[in-house]
Amino acid sequence: MRALWRVLGVALFYTAWIKRQWMWIVQSIMSTVGIVMLAYGWGGHDIVKTAIPVYIIITTWSFGANLVAQMVGYDRVSREWERMVASQLTLFEYFTGIVLGALPFVLPSIALLVPIATAWGFGLKLITIALLLSPLSMALGTFLSLSIVLRIRNPMNISAVTNPLVTATTFLPPVLYPPTVLPEPLRSISIAVPPVALAEITKALSIGVSTTPIHISIASVIAWLVTTGIATLRVLKWGLE
């Protein structure tokens, strides 16, 4: 029970940003509506059906790689990290609290997709598959970003690292567009980009469509998860350094 209260305490501490930057939530909702309308304008019903689960994966990937990583990075730069380490918090409680505290940023835009998918008759499976893969997407995004951010020794604008990383991994590679657009060998190489592999797995499980064999996508995700997890843990020290 004490662990639960400590997690909730961290979550409450990191929700203070909502009062100052609540427009981030509005921006996220507007982006979600815009993506859905853009998909409908490009290809109608079928494109929206593909875009919704993929966009959930992109959202949670960006949540981990950008927002969660920024919070941890700024804690390290501002020395807030030392105060957290000196408390009774464990590393798991600290991270769980940060994720819970930052969830208000991402939940409204994802929740908005549920009635949209229902109204279009896509069924709950479409949303459920993407939601089940979301923790994996968030964790992988967090690990990749932190494996870079935590190696920054000089204070700087952490978002100058995380924002370009998210853009480079979600908008340039074939995540929101099909890999078939790319010529070989770029098409095959693109599966090495984590969001591409996650999007291919999501599409295969939710709508039964995938450009790349699912076992290759799964292998790519596992390889990145292990590699970035190890790389992050090597620099993420909880205790006296």
**What is residue 156's predicted lDDT score, i.e. its pLDDT?**
64
24: CB partners within 8 A, 6+ apart: 17, 105
pTM, 2 dp: 0.87
**What is residue 234's predicted lDDT score, i.e. its pLDDT?**
84
What is the C-alpha to C-alpha distance for residues 2 and 79, in angstroms, rounded to an integer?
25
**What is residue 34's predicted lDDT score, i.e. its pLDDT?**
86
**What is residue 92's predicted lDDT score, i.e. its pLDDT?**
84
**What is residue 196's predicted lDDT score, i.e. its pLDDT?**
94
Q: Where are the beta strands (DSSP E) in the chain?
A: none
Contact 58, 115 (CB under 8 A): no
**What is residue 222's predicted lDDT score, i.e. its pLDDT?**
95
Contact 150, 162 (CB under 8 A): no
**What is residue 140's predicted lDDT score, i.e. its pLDDT?**
94
Mean pLDDT by 10 residues, the chain (241 residues): 78 76 81 86 84 91 88 79 79 85 86 86 85 93 89 72 88 87 88 93 88 91 93 77 52
- Encoding tokens for residue 40? 């409908």
Locus of tokens 């969001």: 195
Q: How many residues make up the chain in this entry?
A: 241
What is the C-alpha to C-alpha distance for residues 176 and 200, in angstroms, rounded to an integer?
11
- Domain extent listing, the chain: 2-235
Contact 54, 203 (CB under 8 A): yes
128: CB partners within 8 A, 6+ apart: none
What is the C-alpha to C-alpha distance for residues 8 and 17, in angstroms, rounded to an integer?
16
